[in-house]
Amino acid sequence: MQFIQSPPELHPLMDAIRRDRVIRARRQTPEERFAEAMEMTDFAFEVMEASVKDSHPGADDETVTRILRDRLARLRKREDRGIFVPLEKPE
């Protein structure tokens, strides 16, 4: 798997977007934040699905689902072993 580093000239824009999202989230109700989190989760799964379909162009829906589940299982194992650990929330 290859990760693409964002160009340094985009960092100020990315920081501004993050700041705006934090400000907007602070104004939302818990229900609104939860709904947005669910939308982001759906989007993440759509991106993962597109990645699988791109890597396996002939795969049927059942195969795509199996590959997605395998990838998620590997991520969980890495997290359980401390190889991949989500970032802690700053206090």
Q: What are phi and psi of 9, to 5 degrees?
A: -70, -15
pTM above 0.95, yes or no: no
For residue 10, give the DSSP letter: G
pLDDT higher than threshold 60 for residue 2: no
40 part of a folded domain = yes
Q: Which residue has the tokens 């049927």?
A: 60
For residue 85, give the DSSP letter: -
The number of distinct structural domains making up the chain is: 1
Contact 56, 63 (CB under 8 A): yes
4 part of a folded domain = no
For residue 72, give the DSSP letter: H
- d(C-alpha 73, C-alpha 52), whole Å: 15
pLDDT classification of 1: cutoffs 50, 70, 90? very low
Which pLDDT tens digit goes with each residue over 6-49?
Answer: 888 888 999 999 999 899 989 999 999 999 999 999 999 999 99
Residue-number span of the structural domain to which 62 is assigned:
17-81
